[in-house]
Amino acid sequence: MFAFSIPASAFSDSKEEEEPELLTESAIVVDKSSGLTLFEKNAEQEMYPASLTKMATAIYAIENADLDEKVTVSENARSVEGTRVYLEEGEEVSLEKLVQGLLINSGNDAGVAIAEHLSGSEESFAEDLNEYLEQEVGLEDTNFTNPHGLHDEDHVTTAADLAKLTRYALKDPDFKEYFGAEELDWKGESWETTILSHHRLLLEDKGLTITGGKTGYVEKSGNTLATSAKEDGMEVIVITLKSDSQDIAYSETEKLLDYTFDTIEAPDIPEMEAFSIKGKERAFFKSSSLLNMVN
């Protein structure tokens, strides 16, 4: 059993505000710059990510291929179920366009086309992706079986891993651009339109400085949401998993952003007290006695 003594400095100059109570099953808030976890609820619980998977597929493609490469769409990619960018069999599309369609319009067909182009099949891509996520990104509790997040019992991750993934990916300027894009003009063989981000807060930005986001939903995962936001020089990443509705996912993301930005300021981050338990860094949040993991 561990015994802890909390230094008085951990509470100095703190703002009194109760931590949010959430209906969402799993959630985490991470400071993008330092990696400090500022809030968590069941952050290491195994969960289904749905289309938040596509963040992993996107950054893997960006880092392991030339975005100018041409991809020939297969019948398998064209016929995948769920959200699509309506690719046609035999259509040639740049890898960059597929990554954009994957992140902005959540195209499952774009995900399959990327996977087949990079690894030959979805199954081989899943093996390559998992190795990359473990060795390059440092994820410990993630196993993906496909590039898009359609449900599979073995397709699992955690809020903590997804926050770490988002933080890693946002270091890449191309990913950051696509993750934060509100719209994209799309011209394909069967579809010509302006596609809009599915992330409601990115489009509405209700007084919050939302810098990017990705949505997800399948029945078993519930609503999943990844969001980045910036205020007064501090940028944070919020992951919410298994919300019962979109309204809950968005309102509780807003609640977490308000709580974080109201409670802590960027200059406070380096002053947090940190120590290690079982090899994982932890820190005292200055406005709370809770222990929060650093990823």
Positive or negative, the CA dihedral 14, 15, 21, 25 is negative
Active site residue 106: yes
Distances (CA, A) of 192 to 34, 36, 71, 174, 184: 41, 42, 19, 23, 11
Reduced to 3 states (helix: H, G, I; strand: E, B; else coil), residue 149 is: coil
Radius of gyration of the chain (CA): 19
Is there a catalytic annotation at residue 51?
yes
Catalytic one of 106, 119, 197, 287: 106
Phi, psi of 285 (to 5 degrees): -75, 130
Residue 215, beta-bridge partner list: 225
Catalytic residue among 26, 32, 41, 54: 54
Catalytic residue among 51, 74, 119, 197: 51
Question: Count of alpha carbons within 13 Å of 225, Cβ hemisphere only?
Answer: 31
Q: How far is the C-alpha of 86 from the C-alpha of 277, rounded, in Å?
A: 48
Tell me the catalytic residues: 51, 54, 106
